[in-house]
Amino acid sequence: MARRADLLSALSVLLLLPPLLRAGDPHPTEGRLTNSCLQARRKCQANPTCNAAYHHLSSCASSVSTPSPAEEPSVPVDCVEAAQHLRNSSLMSCTCHRRMKNQTACLDIYWTVHAARSLDSDLCLKFAMLCTLNDKCDRLRMAYGEACSSGPHCRRPACLQQLRAFFEKAPEPHAQGLLLCPCAPSDLGCGQRRRNTIAPSCALPPGTPNCLELRRLCHADRLCRSRLADFQTHCHPMDILGTCATEQSRCLQAYMGLIGTDMTPNFISNVNASVALSCTCRGSGNLQEECERLEESFSHNPCLMEAIADKMRFHSQLFSQDLSDSTLPVMERQNKNLALRPQPWMPSLFSCTLTLILLPSF
């Protein structure tokens, strides 16, 4: 009963349920609904594969979480496989009506399937699992995950060193997949997993320093100074369209090269792919414009934004069909061939979120 109450409470907050059933309101019969979850569940029960996948997914509900980087992947592979088995089931598009009979039972089914769709569409989770399956990527990621653990155990210099080691030594397709995985705007878990790739609570400076102070610290370190110059060269927009001064791949490499330095950038939220430095221009005095130019070279850089968007589109295409053993070779070929550009369309997995359809009253 507690679980049902929690489901209904979350549903009313997140999806803005209409007012509760009023006295005298009619209860539409299940037969008049379009693919209700109760109907879809009965169809699934008649198929042994679908039925087994649904039962297995029900036991996976507690596994869907967003832990620290060192604990990835947070969902067992068999749970993702169960979600894949339900992809073509009518359960994936089933609906519930706010005045239907057996509404609670319908919502129980809906939220079980919602977990399946979340697993199926969370590409950041899939790239995390691919990293885990690669010994070198997994070893390097575990190292920075441990060094960047939040709380009293956070040692920022060690965290930054391990972050640099990961992005320097991990296979580029894996590193780019983890950092530049696409998330639907409504998939906050996916967006949080992407932000946590850079462990913001430990890797970024305490408080909110002035951006010019960050640059001063960076210039005092030869490695950081060189990488900042590399970023300013290759991520410099040449025109109002944001065309990069060099190839987009060079811009992305320069951007990733800054991770683990005093100028470490990161995604600013869980709902979009905008990036920024962890600093402010408040208190810059007569250097205000110079500070804003530095800050905007990350947060309002059309060359960088388009390079990130193109890479995310490419990563979406990799998972537009079922993952196969050929995925990583394809990624490696794309990174070596600068002429191979992603197509300007977004496959369904990038934007697919399971929306509860609250049908109007009959």
pLDDT tens profile 137-157:
999 999 998 888 866 778 889
Instruction: Please give the share of the chain, as a percent, with pLDDT higher than 70.
Output: 72
Q: What is the reported pLDDT for 44?
A: 92
Residue 98 lies in a domain: yes
Structural domain harbouring 79: 34-62+75-120
Residue 237 lies in a domain: no
CA angle 78, 82, 84 (to 5 degrees): 115
Query: How many domains does one find in the chain?
Result: 1
Residue 52 lies in a domain: yes
Q: What is the reported pLDDT for 118?
A: 63
> Quick check: helix, strand or coil at residue 40?
helix
Q: How far is CA 254 from CA 55, 72, 117, in A?
A: 46, 26, 35
Rounded Cα distance between 92 and 90, Å, is 5
Instruction: Please give the share of the chain, as a percent, with pLDDT higher than 90.
Output: 40
Q: Spell out the residues 6+ positions from residue 323 whose beta carbon is closer than 8 angstroms to its own.
A: 126
Residue 42 lies in a domain: yes
**Average pLDDT in the 29-39 region?**
68
More confident residue, 11 or 162: 162
More confident residue, 258 or 270: 258
Burial class (CB in 10 A: 0-12, 13-18, 19+), 135: exposed
Q: What is the reported pLDDT for 137?
A: 94
Residue 97 lies in a domain: yes
More confident residue, 224 or 98: 224
Residue 159 lies in a domain: no
pLDDT in tens, 35-64: 789 999 999 999 998 999 888 888 876 554
Residue 45 lies in a domain: yes
Q: What is the reported pLDDT for 191?
A: 87
Rounded Cα distance between 2 and 61, Å, is 15
Number of Cβ within 10 Å of residue 9's Cβ equals 11
Instruction: Report whether 328 contacts 130 (CB < 8 A).
Output: yes
Residue 269 lies in a domain: no
Reference 330, options 64, 97, 321; nearest CA is 321
Most confident region among 20-29, 32-41, 275-284 by mean pLDDT: 275-284
Position 217 pLDDT exceeds 80: yes
100 falls in which pLDDT band (50, 70, 90)?
confident
Q: What is the reported pLDDT for 334?
A: 42
Position 328 pLDDT exceeds 60: no
Lookup result for tokens 């339900």: 86
